[in-house]
Amino acid sequence: MPAFNTLDDLSADSRVLVRLDLNSPIEDGTPQDNRRFERHAETVRELAEAGHRVVLLAHQGRPGRDDFTSLGGHAEILADRVGRDVGFVADTYGDEALEAIDALDAGEILLLENTRMCDDELPEASPEEKAETEFVRTLAPLFDAYVNDAYSAAHRKHASLVGFPLVLPAYAGRVMETEYEANTAIATREFDGPVTMVVGGTKATDVIGVMDALDDRVDRFLLGGVAGELFLRAAGHPVGRDVGEMDLFDEQWERNRELIESVLDERGDAIRLASDLAYEGPDGERAEVPVDDIGEKETGYLDVGTTTVADYEPAIRESDAVFVKGALGVFEDERFADGTVGVLDAIAETDCFSVVGGGDTSRAIEMYGLSEADFSHVSIAGGAYIRALTGEPLPAVETLEAAAERRRD
Ligand SMILES: Nc1ncnc2c1ncn2[C@@H]1O[C@H](COP(=O)(O)OP(=O)(O)OP(=O)(O)O)[C@@H](O)[C@H]1O
Ligand SMILES: O=C(O)[C@H](O)COP(=O)(O)O
């Protein structure tokens, strides 16, 4: 059982500051609805219907990246999912935000601006240092309680995640509660047959470190996405580099090169790499090329190829457990969904224990008509899910547990 307090322990008629994770894919500056809104809406609705004053914190993207936007669009999607009005103020702890918070009545909901627009938010620091920031010291006195529902950001030591539990009574939201229970159970279970991990996505740094940590618990890794191309580069293929406007590879290569080479050297027998890749052909169609035929990377590769999927499917079918983190291709574009959907279909057809992790990746399930019921657990977490797999501590969970401990003393 988790050692933190939950909404069942929250006093009535509270002014509650709630941290969600609404980090979403952004297309043309607009957030795309996804499972995170649906899951967090349950916590927000429960708090509002109980008569609490509900103020929400969330982040979007990272400074300098295209997906670093205001949360105005997120408020609209969340309101639709909650079925109640969700106010929005483009401020986090300035006068405009403080006035909007003060004006809230019981049962009302207000979303504040992207926490990563605050200078105090991102620099990784101890919870004690984060509790002393102007951001936390300004907002905390306005509330009776803090609720952290952002399991999928729980691996970050950011002010909105680890600062408030030191200065307010702190509770887990319903998403935090269910994700924590599912993911820690996964980390402790033992399996009789082969354990397979499918690794892809754009956050190669997250997943490569975990491959190193999981090496005694996973029998084989099936690679795609950005991580897969970086491993192909380490294996001597002229791919895994940035071309044109792309900035997904070179910086992550420099940061992870040595670890990739050592993991490949030590566990090469357990690591399956794509044998072909897909890209946009001259007429905009999906084109494929064997990796052995690539002389130089001249275009972005956007999916693993058909032969690779055919190679990965038997490995999945004979597995006792399959964990997925990250898509094998840009599945949002139907032309490049074959890798991700092919692997998900293969998993859905087995009765193995399966977990699909990744806020963006889990969107592929509903986009391509698969059912969550086909998988043991569909996590909306990415990096946090991966760290739970390896038993690594999640700073935001630890601060909730410490807060509960202080209240018991
Ligand atoms: N070869 C590729 N080139 C560019 N993007 C890719 C490639 N393969 C997969 N992707 C992108 O990876 C994304 C999913 O992986 P990503 O690591 O970003 O998120 P996630 O695994 O769902 O977890 P998180 O919750 O951390 O976002 C998809 O949006 C997909 O478009
Ligand atoms: O989407 C996620 O993985 C979480 O929101 C964490 O986002 P980050 O990797 O930008 O901290």
DSSP category for residue 103? T
Cα–ligand 2 centroid distance for 153 (angstroms): 6
Ligand 2, atom nearest to 21 Cα: 5
Question: Tell me, what's the pLDDT at 190?
Answer: 82
405, HSE (Cβ side, Cα atoms, 13 Å): 9
Question: Tell me, what's the pLDDT at 187?
Answer: 64
Q: If one looks up domain 7-179+393-408 in CATH, what number appears? A: 3.40.50.1260
Cα–ligand 2 centroid distance for 34 (angstroms): 14
The DSSP line for 339-350 is HHHHHHHHHHTS
Check: CB of residue 305 under 8 Å from CB of residue 332.
Answer: no
The residue contributing the CA closest to ligand 2 atom 4 is: 153
A 10 A CB-CB count for 398 gives 17
Please give the backbone phi and psi of residue 366, each rounded to the nearest 5 degrees, phi first: -80, -30
SS3 221: strand
Identify which ligand lies nearest to the alpha carbon of 207: 1
342 known member of a binding site = no
Q: Dump pLDDT digits (tens) for 150-160.
A: 999 999 999 99
The encoded tokens of residue 401 equal 């547990």
Alpha-carbon distance 295 to 11, whole Å?
65
Check: CB of residue 243 under 8 Å from CB of residue 234.
Answer: no
Ligand 2, atom nearest to 359 Cα: 1
Q: ipTM of this model?
A: 0.89
Can you list the residues of the chain whose pLDDT is less than 50? Answer: none
The Cα angle at residue 22 between residues 303 and 87, in degrees rounded to 5: 145
Alpha-carbon distance 392 to 299, whole Å?
37
Please give the backbone phi and psi of residue 404, each rounded to the nearest 5 degrees, phi first: -65, -40
Q: Which fold has domain 189-378?
A: Rossmann fold (3.40.50)
Query: What element of type H or E holds 338?
Result: helix 338-348
Question: Tell me, what's the pLDDT at 185?
Answer: 62
Question: Tell me, what's the pLDDT at 209?
Answer: 79
Q: Please tell me the total number of residues recorded for the chain in this structure.
A: 409
SS3 236: coil
Q: Dump pLDDT digits (tens) for 252-290.
A: 999 999 999 999 999 999 999 999 999 999 999 999 999
Q: Rounded to two decimals, what is the model's pTM?
A: 0.79
177 known member of a binding site = no
User: Which amino acid, 213?
Assistant: A
Q: Dump pLDDT digits (tens) for 295-310.
A: 999 999 999 999 999 9
Question: Tell me, what's the pLDDT at 180?
Answer: 87
Candidate from 24, 39, 57, 59 with most ligand 2 atoms within 8 A of CB, to mutate:
59
Residue found by looking up tokens 């607009």 in the block: 30
DSSP category for residue 122? S
Identify which ligand lies nearest to the alpha carbon of 121: 2
Q: Where are the domains of the chain?
A: 7-179+393-408, 189-378
User: Which residues does 103 contact at the CB level (< 8 Å), separation at least 6?
Assistant: none
60 known member of a binding site = yes
Ligand 2 neighbour 360 (Cβ under 6 A): no
Question: Tell me, what's the pLDDT at 113?
Answer: 98
Check: CB of residue 250 under 8 Å from CB of residue 300.
Answer: no
Question: Tell me, what's the pLDDT at 393?
Answer: 86
The residue contributing the CA closest to ligand 1 atom 15 is: 201
